[in-house]
Structure 1
Amino acid sequence: MTGLAVRQIGPGRLTRGLEGGGRVDWETHRRLHPDPRMIGSDGLIALAEAGRLCGRGGAGFPFATKLRAVVASAARRRKRTVVVVNGTEGEPGSAKDKVLLRRAPHVILDGAALAATALGAREIVVAVTDEEAAASVELAIRERELDGRARVVRLPERFITGESGALVRGINGRRPIPPGRKGRTSTRGVDGLPTLLSNAETYAQLAVLAGLGPGAYGKVGIPEEPGTVLLTVTGSARFPAVVETPAGAPLAHLLDLCGSRAGEGVLVGGYHGAWLSGDTATRTQASRASLREAGGTLGAGIVMPIGRGTCPLGEVARVARYLAAESAGQCGPCRLGLPDVAGALAALAGGQDAAAALERVRRAARMVVRRGACAHPDGVSRFVLTALEVFEADAADHVAHGGCGRPVLGVLPAETDAQLRLEVDWSRCDGHGLCAGLLRGTVRMDEYGYPVIPAEPIPAALEPDARRAVAMCPGLALRLVPRVPKEARR
């Protein structure tokens, strides 16, 4: 995924100098990008407002508002501040931030240094999960002689690691999961200090805005959303790429650039985003407002068309199982609700009592909304329910005929670091169902009362439950065996 090509619609800004495929070092960076003039907090807030800069990590929160909150908290508490770059990018379908971290780290550090100077921050913390990204940023820190003022923190590669509360917990040396009690990082973040936290692209955009000034920055894009956006275009695209484009460019143009059509549907915003029908997607622009009006979201800047050769419901079921396993598992919607969603989707995709399974999916997905400790259940619900709307005809085929006749090709990435898979000795299995109870959403029971075991490896987060299922199986029929890599099978 991180080996994707970089493409540009119009002159590159964030991706300037990346056409050749290498990393932009400090000396080259300074030739390509103007040195942003350091300003105070009031000036930085005014600059962010003039450039209409919003976060690029998913929520699209106004950057000036974040700055104000940190400044006010620091003044009220008489504390130093910390600037955090969220470079974790736990979305399997996203690579834009990793591309910047690996190949253009200085444009990110320009923005982070600008913010740190304006706030009088104690330090800059760059949080990453990717080894190559960590090495690139550490080298950039040395190139700029920022040792002692900036550091890199490596965190586990998980979907939920990038949630703000989880990220701060991880930087503070705790388990990086969303805290049960919600709080604002602008008030109490890293080491309990007021913390400015935004994702890698946001700081890069801040650097470009400061270097060009609001007027030149807004010469591309649309008035409400000036500048460019970074998008990761994958899915069934023949030429997957990280694309820098002016905000407001037609989504159809982006798909064409990457060798794809909208087909039956396009996922926008990632696995907490939404599905758009092919017709809707071709009429939509790459902007927050246009995508919102169409029923989607810019989210994490992910565009995933899905081709006609794969089963859409099978793809969605794979991802739902992955998302259920990637939860923190600390509240009812994640521990029980998401496995129920994944299990019902697996039954629907497999044609097992599909009509009842379809209703179970809808009911379970609606039940988790606004009940979780974080936004993970809400995002999964949106991903699933919009899929059922867009692929309504496919769902009808599964209900009427037990399937759509298409294979599941794995077009949507559902990455896992799992190394073990489950096997059943059918001569011993008596269909007690304990394994399905312990591994809800992963193991299900068929119409004859026997377990249906997935061919995919068990996600690492579910290994303890899988080992418990093996130990408790009354017939001693279940076992965990090492995963055989595809290259070894070939």
Structure 2
Amino acid sequence: MIAVRHVGPPRLTAGLAGAGRLDWDAHRRLHPEPSPLTCERLVALAEAGRLHGRGGAAFPFARKVRAVADSSVRRRRRAVVVVNGTEGEPGSAKDKVLLRSAPHLVLDGATLAATALGAGEIVLGITEAGAAASMDDAIAERGLAARARVVRLPERFITGEGGALVRGINGRRPVPPGRKVRAATRGVGGLPTLLSNAETYAQLAVLAALGPHRYARVGTPAEPGTVLLTVTGSARFPAVVETPAGAPLGHLLDLCGARASEGVLVGGYHGAWITGEAAVRARLSREGLRDAGGTLGAGVIMPLGRRTCPLGECARVARFLAAESAGQCGPCRLGLPDIAGALADLAEGRDAASAERTIRRAVRMAAGRGACTHPDGTSRFVLSALDVFAADASRHRTHGGCGRPVLGVLPAETGARLHLEVDWSRCDGHGLCAGILRGLVRMDEYGYPVIPGEPIPARLEPEARRAVAACPGLALRLVPRN
């Protein structure tokens, strides 16, 4: 399990450094049981504590509660409280740490909200087995089995999108719905649903225990309290770190043995790259990172050292993001593979100038047009990489590369099992494979397919099999991953 550290007195991570799971008795020795609140008092508490969601969108928690309460009264239906514990972001571990090691703190916040709303059920959507087992045990320890349940969902990047999570809990395929449906109006079982991530509910429990005044003794006036961050990438000491909002990002990087020399990804794969110079000056808050050109997002900090190729790392992530889409709308089915393929061309020095133009054109076509924000987040990641690593891109255009290997510092596992191979003695360059696997297979200047070296993403295996079956020369085959 990833290390847990803190800057200043710990709140969410109290008792977690070097320890295992906090059971019911250990939790209560650290955290008093919060007093029940009415809905109006809960809204007032969240407003006074300026509590925002910690899953990426940073939506004001009080507004969510009020919307669910109003919908519940208007429709005369009992609400549902949902804890989003999916955390599909590959570089993030903060919610998993809370679910595995401090499950009762998450349940404190969830039950506080459920009691205030008069909710009939608490549902925890979780992908990771250890986190699910810990929460099942916590529900049993508290005698909440009649009121709370855990739903296991597939571990995909898009599973944690609000609409996808609700669909998954409802027993459907966990992908974003084709049209926007507010969970506050019609969520789990068609009922008004309060949906926030695990850290948000843990922060609510801490806010209720401390009260707004003590809660605001750390942090900034606009963003009181602490933030929970996952520091990975090229950090020598990767960790989940709790730190007061507004603390220097440079201090956090030093704590985790990382340098900001090459660039730092803030906010995760739907976040943005900032330069090393900007990272040293940046403050760890929504406002501070926005001023630096980034975003707090999912609370992921990924510094990139000088030993690996930045464009190669970003191309791997872009390929991962294209494969992790639901594939149900044009921007994801066509735009993201085009972006990923062109970024791979740029990283490998193939027609690099044309590749960069293709990326920017595909981004313009994809951003703002998807069924969810996945194309927007992917576009932000790629465009910020082109800006921050402009000097590296220039070397790739001029020399065909930067001379550095791609070390895989940024996690980009797709669950892929099969490689695509070509028998060149049979291939006649018909191009059917490139038509079926658009964005994955491309044709070179001589009219022959360029086959990716990485395994085929699991989502695209059916199309890959179609391409194999369609090849007139029987030149294409799928082979198991080594």
TM-score tier (shorter)? over 0.9
Match of 1:66 in 2: 64
Query: Residue 334 of structure 2 contacts residue 439 of structure 2 at CA under 8 Å; is this kept in 1?
Result: no
Match of 2:400 in 1: 402
Match of 1:487 in 2: none
Query: Residue 352 of structure 1 contacts residue 447 of structure 1 at CA under 8 Å; is this kept in 2?
Result: no
For residues 436-483 of structure 1, the C-alpha deviation after alignment (integer angstroms, 9 at most, x for no partner) is 222222222233322222222211111111111111111111111111
Query: Residue 337 of structure 2 contacts residue 440 of structure 2 at CA under 8 Å; is this kept in 1?
Result: yes
Match of 2:293 in 1: 295
Q: 1:199 to 1:466 in 2, by over 3 A?
A: same
Amino acid aligned to 2:378: V
Match of 2:42 in 1: 44
- In 2, the alpha carbon distance for the partners of 1:185 and 1:144 equals 27
Match of 1:473 in 2: 471
Amino acid aligned to 1:335: R
Alignment of 1:90-489 (within 5 A): 90-484=88-482
- In 1, the alpha carbon distance for the partners of 2:21 and 2:407 equals 33
Amino acid aligned to 2:436: L
CA shift, 1:300, in A, is 0.2
CA shift, 1:121, in A, is 0.3
- In 1, the alpha carbon distance for the partners of 2:18 and 2:276 equals 33
For residues 356-395 of structure 1, the C-alpha deviation after alignment (integer angstroms, 9 at most, x for no partner) is 1111111111221111111110111100001100000111
Query: Residue 172 of structure 1 contacts residue 191 of structure 1 at CA under 8 Å; is this kept in 2?
Result: yes
CA shift, 1:122, in A, is 0.5
- In 2, the alpha carbon distance for the partners of 1:451 and 1:14 equals 52
- In 1, the alpha carbon distance for the partners of 2:260 and 2:13 equals 26
For residues 276-334 of structure 1, the C-alpha deviation after alignment (integer angstroms, 9 at most, x for no partner) is 01101110011000111111100000000111111111111111111111111111101
Amino acid aligned to 1:150: A
Q: Give the secondary structure class of the aligned counterpart of 2:264.
A: strand
Amino acid aligned to 1:312: P
- In 2, the alpha carbon distance for the partners of 1:321 and 1:239 equals 27
The TM-score normalised by the length of structure 1 is 0.97
Structure 1 residue ranges without an equivalent (≥5): 485-490
Structure 2 residue ranges without an equivalent (≥5): none
Q: How many residues align?
A: 482
Q: 1:369 to 1:38 in 2, by over 3 A?
A: same
Query: Residue 352 of structure 1 contacts residue 446 of structure 1 at CA under 8 Å; is this kept in 2?
Result: no
CA shift, 1:262, in A, is 0.6
Aligned Cα RMSD in Å?
0.9
For residues 252-272 of structure 1, the C-alpha deviation after alignment (integer angstroms, 9 at most, x for no partner) is 011111100111210000111
More displaced, 445-454 or 191-200? 445-454
Query: Residue 444 of structure 1 contacts residue 451 of structure 1 at CA under 8 Å; is this kept in 2?
Result: yes
For residues 219-259 of structure 1, the C-alpha deviation after alignment (integer angstroms, 9 at most, x for no partner) is 11111111100101001101111000000110001111110
Query: Residue 324 of structure 2 contacts residue 414 of structure 2 at CA under 8 Å; is this kept in 1?
Result: no
Match of 1:16 in 2: 14
Query: Residue 127 of structure 2 contacts residue 154 of structure 2 at CA under 8 Å; is this kept in 1?
Result: yes
Q: Give the secondary structure class of the aligned counterpart of 1:198.
A: strand
For residues 320-350 of structure 1, the C-alpha deviation after alignment (integer angstroms, 9 at most, x for no partner) is 1111111111111011111110111111111
Q: Give the secondary structure class of the aligned counterpart of 1:296.
A: coil
- In 2, the alpha carbon distance for the partners of 1:260 and 1:102 equals 26
Query: Residue 4 of structure 2 contacts residue 18 of structure 2 at CA under 8 Å; is this kept in 1?
Result: no
Q: Give the secondary structure class of the aligned counterpart of 2:270.
A: coil
- In 1, the alpha carbon distance for the partners of 2:100 and 2:41 equals 30
